[in-house]
Amino acid sequence: MRSRDLTSAVLARRPLGAGSFGLVKAASPGIAMNATSPINLTRNASVATTRMASLVHLLSIALLAGGATLHVPLVHAEGGPGDSIGHLDVDRRERTYLVHAPSGYDGKAALPIVIVLHGGGGSGAGAVRLTGMSAKADREKFLAVYPDGTGPLRTRLLTWNSGNCCGNAMNAKVDDVAFIRAMLDRLERDHAIDTKRIFVTGISNGGMMAYRLACEMSDRIAAIAPVAGAQNVECPAGGPVSVIIFHGTKDQNVLLDGGEPRKHFGPLRTDRSVAYAASFWAARNGCTGQRLHQRTASLRTEAYTECKDGTGITVNIVENGGHAWPGGERMSPVLDEPSHEVSATDLMWAFFAIHPKR
């Protein structure tokens, strides 16, 4: 199957709906599709019962619903544009990720890379639709990479172990940092990567994971762009990382000022504030200049200046914004409609472009 056809199949496979939860309709792999067979009816009923129990559990921990991915063998897009799906074995778990190489990519020129982390309950393929990052990659010429978290259903309702969130990944103490490190190693082997321009973004649980990666992979990551996330981990000593933050004033799932969410799925947790994250990175990056403020009807921006090694910190507060990717698609009918007056994808890329690792 050609890589473009493969991606079309991945993005079209939405048994749970785009940003919604539902019953799994397809038969389990390995079970014949002959619905009239008594044996198959019995097996399908058993599978459905098991899946329903898993779904009930997972729905209680899902923060976002971002679609599903298709598990396939590794397809390389070496030296050419298009999409490919990779897989790795990390800590006895098979991990998957989708790579979008921009149009015109010849595999020779070293390109920046933007890693996009889906929210809790989502998937890499869902993040493609949610963020529009692949279209941005085509225009600006960088690689967009969409890793998948983990979960009992393998390809659906996936989460990241970002510290105190979320779901199966947190409970099983999945080492997602090791996965991202191994994925970068593989990407540097398979593609021409500008190692000074490795960037990470993510939303909600994925935004929390972006903070964790900046804390634990400051040796490789140049900048992060958490959207609707919180830095809930203790950061070990490390180097500077540029940070651009996006958060809505009316986000009830991860509060701007921190604390216990007013809306949550699963065990209650306490989030740190956006101000905490900004202050932490201002100190880590040695920012000594004045803070610059700008305000429009839809956006409040605060930028820290004179930070070491050319790093920067910018906080974008979306007025009346909820738990959503500004300028992107709505994640789920049960979550907030995104602002269409602000494009997080455009703003973060403009920030990434001027903040390489030095």
pTM: 0.80
Helix (H, G, I), strand (E, B) or coil at 9: helix
> Is 137 within 8 Å of 128 (Cβ atoms)?
no
**Which phi and psi (to 5°) does residue 215 adopt?**
-65, -45
**272: CATH:** 3.40.50.1820
Residue 184 contacts by C-beta under 8 Å, 6 or more apart in sequence?
Answer: 113, 193, 198, 220
Residue-wise pLDDT tens digits, 252-279:
999 999 999 999 777 889 999 999 999 9
Per-residue pLDDT, 91: 93
**Residue 60 counted as domain residue:** no
**Residue 108 counted as domain residue:** yes
**Residue 3 counted as domain residue:** no
**Residue 1 counted as domain residue:** no
Residue-wise pLDDT tens digits, 295-346:
999 999 999 999 999 999 999 999 999 999 999 998 888 889 999 999 999 9
State the Cα–Cα distance between residues 122 and 99, nearest whole angstrom. Answer: 17
**Residue 23 counted as domain residue:** no
H-assigned helices in the chain = 3-12, 38-59, 124-131, 133-140, 167-171, 176-190, 205-216, 274-284, 344-353
Give the residue numbers spanning the domain of 331: 82-353
User: How many domains would you assign to the chain?
Assistant: 1
**Residue 318 counted as domain residue:** yes
> Across-strand partners of 193?
111
Per-residue pLDDT, 35: 33
Residue-wise pLDDT tens digits, 49-103:
334 433 433 444 443 433 333 333 333 334 457 899 999 999 999 999 999 999 9
- Is the pLDDT confidence value at 27 over 60? no
Residue-wise pLDDT tens digits, 137-195:
999 999 999 999 999 887 788 999 999 999 999 999 999 999 999 999 999 999 999 99
Residue-wise pLDDT tens digits, 1-22:
333 333 333 333 332 222 322 2
**Residue 65 counted as domain residue:** no
**Residue 54 counted as domain residue:** no
